[in-house]
Chain A
Amino acid sequence: MSQPFRRAAGGRIDRSRTLTFHFEGRAYEAHPGDTLSSALLANGVRVVARGPYTGRPRGTYGIGAEEPNAFVQVDSGPGEPMVRATQLEVYDGLVARSLAGKGSLGEEPDDSRYDKTWAHCDVLVVGAGPAGLAAAHAAGVTGARVILADERPEPGGDLLGGRAHLDGRPAMDWVTDLRARLAGLPEVRVLPRTTVTGAYDGNFLVAVQRRTEHLGPAAPAHVARQRLWHIRAGQVVLATGAHERPILFPDNDRPGVMLAAAAAGYAWRYGVLPGRRAVVAGAHDGALWAAVDLVDAGVELAAVLDARHLAGGQAHRALRDRGVVVAAGHGVVGTDADADGVLTAAWVAPVDGDGQARRIACDLLATSGGWNPAVHLYSQAGGRPRWSDDHAAFVPGDPLPAVACVGAAAGTFDLADALAEGAEAGWQAAAATHGGGGEEPLPPATDSVASAGAPAACWITARADSPPETIFVDLQRDATLRDVRRAVGAGMRASEHVKRFTTAGTAADQGRTTGVTTVGVLAGLLGLPVGAVGTTTYRPPYAPISFALLAGRDRGRLLDPERRTPMHERHEADGAVFENVGQWKRPWYYPAPGEDLDQAVLRECRAAREGVAMMDVSTLGKIDLRGPDVGEFLDRVYTNRFSTLRVGQCRYGVMCRADGMVFDDGVTARLAPDRYHMTTTTGNAAAVLDWLDEWLQTEWPDLRVSATSVTDQWAAVAVVGPGSREVLRRLAPSLDVSAEAFPFLTVRDATVAGIPARVFRISFTGELSYEINVPAWYGLALWDAVAEAGRPAGITPYGTETMHVLRAEKGFIVAGQDTDGTVTPHDAGLGWAVSTVKPFIGGRSLARPDTARNDRKRLVGLLPADPSVVLAEGAQLVVDADAPTPVPMLGHVTSSYRSAALGRSFALALVAGGLTHRGETLQAVDGGQAHPVVVTEPVFYDAEGARRDG
Chain B
Amino acid sequence: MLSVPCPWCGPRDETEFRYGGQAHVAYPADPAACSDAEWAGYLFMRDNPKGWFAERWFHSAGCRRWFNAVRHTVTYEFAAVYAPFTQPPGVPS
Q: Does A touch B (CB under 8 Å) in the complex? A: yes
Min CB distance A119 to B, Å, is: 13
| A807 contacts chain B at the CB level, 8 A cutoff | no
Binary contact track B1-35/A, C-beta < 8 Å → 1, others 0: 11100000000000000101000001110011010
Q: Is there an interface contact between A701 and B85, defined as CB atoms closer than 8 Å?
A: yes
Shortest distance between the CB of B37 and any CB in chain A (Å): 10
> Does A694 sit within 8 A of B, measured CB to CB?
yes
Q: Are B60 and A202 within 8 A (Cβ)?
A: no
B58 near A: Cβ within 8 Å? yes
Q: Are B39 and A690 in contact (CB under 8 A)?
A: no
Is the pair A698, B56 in contact by a Cβ cutoff of 8 Å?
yes
B side interface size, CB within 8 A: 26
Across the interface, which residues of A come within 8 angstroms of B31, CB to CB?
A: 839, 843-844
- Please state if A690 and B84 are interface contacts (CB–CB under 8 Å): no
Whether a CB of chain A sits under 8 angstroms from the CB of B47 is: no
Task: Name the contact of A690 in the complex, choosing from B1, B3, B18, B43 (C-beta under 8 A).
Answer: B18
- Residue of B20, B40, B64 touching A848 (CB-CB under 8 A): B40
Task: Say yes or no: B2 contacts A697, CB within 8 Å.
Answer: no
A658 contacts partner chain B, Cβ-Cβ < 8 Å = yes
Find chain B residues with CB under 8 A from A690 CB. 18, 58, 60
Contact B36 A849 (CB under 8 A): yes
* A637-691 contacts to B (CB < 8 Å): 658-659, 686, 690
The proximity string for B residues 32-73 relative to A, scoring 1 for CB distances below 8 Å and 0 otherwise, is 101010011011000000000000101010001110000000
B44 to chain A, nearest CB (A): 8
Report how far A658 CA is from B25 CA in the complex, Å. 13
A764 contacts the other chain (CB 8 A) = no
Q: A699: nearest residue on chain B (CB-CB)?
A: B27
Taking A690-B58, A701-B85, A848-B40 as contacts, is the C-beta distance between A232 and B3 under 8 angstroms? Answer: yes
In the complex with contacts A382-B75, A690-B18, A845-B43, A658-B27 CB distance below 8 A: yes
> Most chain-A CB neighbours within 10 Å: which of B43, B58, B60?
B43
Chain B: CB-nearest residue to A695: B27
Q: Are B32 and A839 in contact (CB under 8 A)?
A: yes
Query: Would you call B36 and A848 a contact (CB within 8 A)?
Result: yes
A42-56 CB mask vs B (1 if < 8 Å, else 0) is 000000000000000
**Residues on the A chain within 8 Å of B1, using CB:** 200-202, 204, 230
Question: From B31, which residue of chain A is reached at the shortest CB distance?
Answer: A844
Q: For residue A74, give the distance in angstroms from its CB to the closest CB of chain B.
A: 32
Asked if A844 and B66 make an inter-chain contact with CB atoms under 8 angstroms apart, the answer reads no
Bound Cα distance from A499 to B36, whole angstroms: 51
Whether B76 contacts A698 by the Cβ 8 Å rule is: no
- Report the nearest B residue to A660, measured CB to CB: B43
Which of A200, A686, A698 has the most chain B CB atoms inside 10 A of its CB? A698
In angstroms, Cα B28 to Cα A693, docked, is 18
Residues of A within 8 A of B64 (CB): 693
- When the two chains form their complex, are residues B84 and A697 in contact, meaning their CB atoms are under 8 A apart? yes
CB-CB under 8 A from B76, the residues of chain A are 201-202
A204 surroundings in chain B (CB, below 8 A): 1, 3
Task: List residues of chain A with CB within 8 A of the CB of B32.
Answer: 839, 843-844
Q: When chains A and B are docked, how far (Å) is the Cα of A482 from the Cα of B31?
A: 67
Inter-chain CA distance A699–B31, complex, in Å, is 13
Q: Which of A202, A232, A698, A848 interacts with B66 by CB under 8 Å?
A: A698
User: Judging by beta carbons under 8 Å apart, are A694 and B58 in contact?
Assistant: yes
Complex contacts, A849 vs chain B, CB 8 Å: 36
Interface string of A482-496 (1 = CB under 8 A from B): 000000000000000
Q: How distant is the Cα of A379 from the Cα of B44 in the complex, in angstroms? A: 37
In the complex, what residue of chain B is closest to A658 when comparing beta carbons?
B43
Asked whether A202 lies within 8 Å of B40 as measured between CB atoms, the reply is no
Decide if B66 touches A697 in the complex (CB within 8 Å): yes
The distance in angstroms between the C-alpha atoms of A216 and B68, with both chains bound, is 53
Q: Which residues of B contact A701 (CB under 8 A)?
A: 84-85
Chain B residues with Cβ under 8 A from A699's Cβ? 26-27
Residues on B with beta carbons closer than 8 Å to the beta carbon of A659: 43
Q: Which residue of A lies closest to B27 (CB)?
A: A699
Assess whether A848 is in contact with B3, with CB atoms less than 8 Å apart.
Answer: no
Query: B36 to A694, Cβ gap below 8 A?
Result: no
Residues of A within 8 A of B66 (CB): 693-694, 697-698
Most buried by A among B31, B58, B75: B31
Q: Which residue of B lies closest to A686 (CB)?
A: B60
Distance in angstroms between the alpha carbons of A694 and B27 in the assembled complex: 12
Which residue of chain A is the closest to B38 with respect to CB atoms? A844
Chain A residue numbers with a CB within 8 Å of B20 are 694, 698
- Do the beta carbons of B36 and A202 come within 8 Å of each other? no
Interface string of A300-343 (1 = CB under 8 A from B): 00000000000000000000000000000000000000000000
State the CA gap A382–B28 with chains docked (Å). Answer: 40
Query: A230 vs B15: C-alpha distance in the bound complex, in angstroms?
Result: 13
Q: How far apart sit A849 and B39, CA to CA, in the bound complex (Å)?
A: 12
Nearest to B65 among chain A residues (CB) is A697
CA–CA, A701 and B42, complex, Å: 20
Cβ of B67 to closest chain A Cβ, rounded Å: 9
Report the bound CA distance from A702 to B64 in whole Å: 18
In the complex, what's the smallest C-beta–C-beta distance from A685 to chain B, in angstroms? 13
Contact B2 A845 (CB under 8 A): no
Contact between A202 and B3 (Cβ–Cβ < 8 Å)? yes
- Chain B residue numbers with a CB within 8 Å of A200 are 1
Cα A506 to Cα B39 with chains together (Å): 50
Find B84's partner among A230, A698, A839, A845 (CB 8 Å cutoff). A698
B40 contact set on A, CB distance < 8 A: 848
- When distances are taken between beta carbons in the complex, the residues of chain B under 8 Å from A698 are 20, 56, 66, 84
Roughly how many angstroms separate A658 CA and B44 CA in the complex, as a whole number? 10
**Complex contacts, B36 vs chain A, CB 8 Å:** 848-849
Measured between alpha carbons, how far is A741 from B4 in the docked complex, in Å?
54
B39 and A844 within 8 A (CB) = yes
A743 and B20 alpha carbons, distance in the complex (Å): 43
Question: Chain B contacts of A844 at CB under 8 A?
Answer: 28, 31-32, 34, 39
A200 to B43, CA, bound (A): 33
Contacts of A843 in B (CB 8 A): 31-32
B36's closest neighbor in chain A, by CB? A848
CB of B59, distance to nearest CB on chain A (Å): 10
How far apart are the CA atoms of A202 and B58 in the complex, in Å? 19
Scan A201-241; emit 1 where CB is below 8 A from any B CB, else 0.
11010000000000000000000000000101000000000
Among candidates B3, B39, B75, residue contacting A845 with C-beta atoms closer than 8 Å: B39
A230 proximity list for chain B (CB < 8 A): 1
Give Cα distance in the complex from A690 to B66, angstroms.
10
Cα–Cα, bound, A120→B28 (Å)? 44
For chain A residues 96-137, which have a beta carbon within 8 Å of chain B?
none
- A843 (CB) vs chain B CBs: closest residue: B31
> Which residues of chain A are near B3, meaning CB under 8 Å?
201-202, 204, 232
In the complex, what distance in Å separates the CA atom of A232 from the CA atom of B3? 9
Alpha-carbon separation in the docked complex, A693 to B20 (Å): 12
Q: What A residues does B34 contact at CB under 8 A?
A: 844
- Beta-carbon nearest neighbor of A849 in chain B: B36
B residues in contact with A232, CB < 8 Å: 3
Docked pose: A690 CA to B84 CA in angstroms? 16
A residues 693-711 near B (Cβ < 8 Å) are 693-694, 697-699, 701
Q: How far is the CB of A780 from chain B (nearest CB, A)?
A: 29
**Given known contacts A202-B2, A697-B65, A839-B31, is B39 in contact with A848 (CB within 8 Å)?**
yes
In the complex, A658→B1 CA distance in Å?
A: 31
Kindly provide the distance from the CB of A700 to the nearest chain B CB, expressed in whole angstroms: 9
Nearest-neighbour CB distance to chain A for B68, whole angstroms, equals: 9
Q: Which 6 A-B pairs have the closest CB atoms?
A: A844-B31, A202-B3, A204-B1, A697-B66, A699-B27, A698-B84
- Extra contacts, 16 of them, besides A659-B43, A697-B65, A843-B32 (Cβ < 8 A), are A200-B1, A201-B3, A202-B76, A658-B27, A690-B58, A690-B60, A693-B64, A694-B58, A697-B84, A698-B20, A839-B31, A839-B32, A843-B31, A844-B28, A845-B43, A848-B40
Q: Mind listing 27 A-B residue pairs with CB under 8 Å?
A: A200-B1, A201-B3, A201-B76, A202-B1, A204-B1, A204-B3, A230-B1, A658-B27, A659-B43, A690-B18, A690-B58, A690-B60, A693-B66, A694-B20, A694-B66, A697-B66, A698-B66, A699-B26, A699-B27, A701-B84, A839-B31, A839-B32, A844-B28, A844-B34, A844-B39, A845-B39, A848-B40
